[in-house]
Structure 1
């Protein structure tokens, strides 16, 4: 069986380590703080992030990054804003050709680059694979059936990761559309925040269904403009991840949105959640990208107004509901009338 290293001992890194360890792989779970990793080794449990999940004997918690030298595959499980810095920190340890699997779902602020692009810049001698899909750590750690998708420009690397991650309870698909897989995984967090806003305001299932449906429409518009395959957004990294993140009690983005909808300030909400809420940073990046590509993203725009401009969530909902009349499937309607193509997205080329 393979020697695998997981860098990042939060809930998701730990859950993946447990899953691969149960499959018989030798897994080094690498964390930043030596004292915390020593305690995890003694207790055989990551109590702060994944309580109740026992680490199998094949998983070795450690604070020593030197173990990365032995890894055939490295799973990088750090927040999106830490990916570049982490890659710079660990690249000296990696053997040439070691496959690097990124699990963070976000985009780099400032550059607007996808995380696989960041990793390719920092780790040019390593195949980069992206892992995404509907997969809460709390459920993977407890062996609940889960399906995910891996994507890479290197098909052999993607298939190798598929082989190493696949278990009877953890099914892995491959997809050649790295752009779509990454963007779907990143942008769905924005819609999950908005679903939380709605719940915090006391709205019902109708509202959430509308947000999710129209949310995937605007995600697909921007994703396609950026080079993603529209069909990818109908798959695990798109609709699948959107459903689980908008509806689950495990979702940090949804929890944060609920608190914001109840009127709590953003700074307090982030402190109370206690873990990274990727949707907050991603909202800013997606809003900037929508303006760059001239793609209408009304839900994202309202989320941006609430998060960064002090807008009231209830007023944001009213702004969405009172917009001008539209076709539901604008691209199809335009093609039927002989006026456009998918990429044009709307009468003015901007979608909704």
Structure 2
């Protein structure tokens, strides 16, 4: 019998827990708030993030970190990226040596510029050979409703990726494996930046041509930085690259796309962030990505303009001419 713990009760954590429980796996979600855990256990649904989707009987919810972690074959780490490190320190005393650790958080830690698996390896060095990252075009609501999709799980240890794939794969969620952890994680994190820009496109009414250009040139920025950081360029042509980018940029279900649209319609960033339960990872990732771009001497013009809008008050209407009138370049400039 396989047992899985899910650290994080947001939309994506709950969705992954639903997938596993429906597969017949004993699954436990951890929420650090006692009252929220009790409510979900009582009502048998996550009314905040996934209302009206019933929990299977073999899905339990707890606020006891030991209960969520002990004797688990696999832990899915699905917390906001900037909170991952402190949650790892909470769970560390209860972690079994054989447990697989799979990060499903898509972000970059601002203070260290580390990817999520790097944070895990630093905090839990004895589990370095049992870490993987999960990513792909996976909008929570659609997956929770049983609509089919695919994802990729990456690990430096092929057997770990295969073990994780075996546990997570089900009839509506097909998982592939990869050994390019850098590419899979950066693809998943950086696409949130481009999704905010795609939301601006919606809010400003610029149309389908502009959206296609944002996605395509966004992919160029992601790929340039990813390759400079050591990723395989082909990863960005896959599920964690263009796949996730299309889903997140095109769908109104995307929290990052929603944030960009609302900003373009005149709302203030702080007001938007305070009005939503979900974390739009693209905001913090924009800051981290530009620091990484400076480290690797890579151009990220979309991310740069987005940063000016988010943090320096630039009018979105002025950002577009800035991008359009940059010095002319070859389409593949910046790639080795």
TM norm structure 1: 0.92
1:192 alignment partner in structure 2: 195
1:37 alignment partner in structure 2: 37
Report the Cα distance in structure 2 between the residues aligned to 1:319 and 1:114, rounded to whole angstroms. Answer: 30
Report the Cα distance in structure 2 between the residues aligned to 1:41 and 1:189, rounded to whole angstroms. Answer: 31
**Corresponding pairs, count:** 333
What runs of 5+ residues in structure 2 fail to find an aligned partner? Answer: none
Aligned CA RMSD, in angstroms, stands at 1.1
Report the Cα distance in structure 2 between the residues aligned to 1:272 and 1:205, rounded to whole angstroms. Answer: 28
Is the contact between residue 7 and residue 77 of structure 1 (CA under 8 Å) also seen in structure 2? yes
What runs of 5+ residues in structure 1 fail to find an aligned partner? Answer: 332-341, 344-352
* 1:268 matches 2:264: no
1:348 alignment partner in structure 2: none
Report the Cα distance in structure 1 between the residues aligned to 2:274 and 2:42, rounded to whole angstroms. Answer: 29
Report the Cα distance in structure 2 between the residues aligned to 1:273 and 1:192, rounded to whole angstroms. Answer: 17
In the TM superposition, what whole-angstrom CA distance separates every residue of 1:294-343 from its partner, at most 9, and x where no partner exists? 11111111111111121111111110111122222336xxxxxxxxxx43
Report the Cα distance in structure 1 between the residues aligned to 2:210 and 2:273, rounded to whole angstroms. Answer: 24
* 1:237 matches 2:240: yes
Report the Cα distance in structure 2 between the residues aligned to 1:165 and 1:292, rounded to whole angstroms. Answer: 35
Of structures 1 and 2, the one scoring higher in RCO (CA 8 A, sep 6+) is 2
1:117 alignment partner in structure 2: 118
Q: Where in structure 2 are the equivalents of 1:249-264 lying within 5 Å? A: 249-264=252-267
1:334 alignment partner in structure 2: none
TM norm structure 2: 0.97
1:338 alignment partner in structure 2: none
Question: SS of the counterpart of 2:101?
Answer: strand
Is the contact between residue 109 and residue 115 of structure 2 (CA under 8 Å) also seen in structure 1? yes
CA shift at 1:273, angstroms?
2.9
Question: SS of the counterpart of 2:53?
Answer: strand
Report the Cα distance in structure 1 between the residues aligned to 2:108 and 2:155, rounded to whole angstroms. Answer: 17
CA shift at 1:138, angstroms?
0.7
CA shift at 1:35, angstroms?
2.1
CA shift at 1:139, angstroms?
1.2
1:183 alignment partner in structure 2: 186
Is the contact between residue 97 and residue 125 of structure 1 (CA under 8 Å) also seen in structure 2? no
Computing the radius of gyration from Cα coordinates, the structure with the larger value is 1
Report the Cα distance in structure 2 between the residues aligned to 1:31 and 1:269, rounded to whole angstroms. Answer: 23
Is the contact between residue 66 and residue 91 of structure 2 (CA under 8 Å) also seen in structure 1? no
CA shift at 1:199, angstroms?
1.2
Report the Cα distance in structure 2 between the residues aligned to 1:33 and 1:299, rounded to whole angstroms. Answer: 37
Is the contact between residue 10 and residue 278 of structure 2 (CA under 8 Å) also seen in structure 1? no
Report the Cα distance in structure 2 between the residues aligned to 1:301 and 1:155, rounded to whole angstroms. Answer: 36
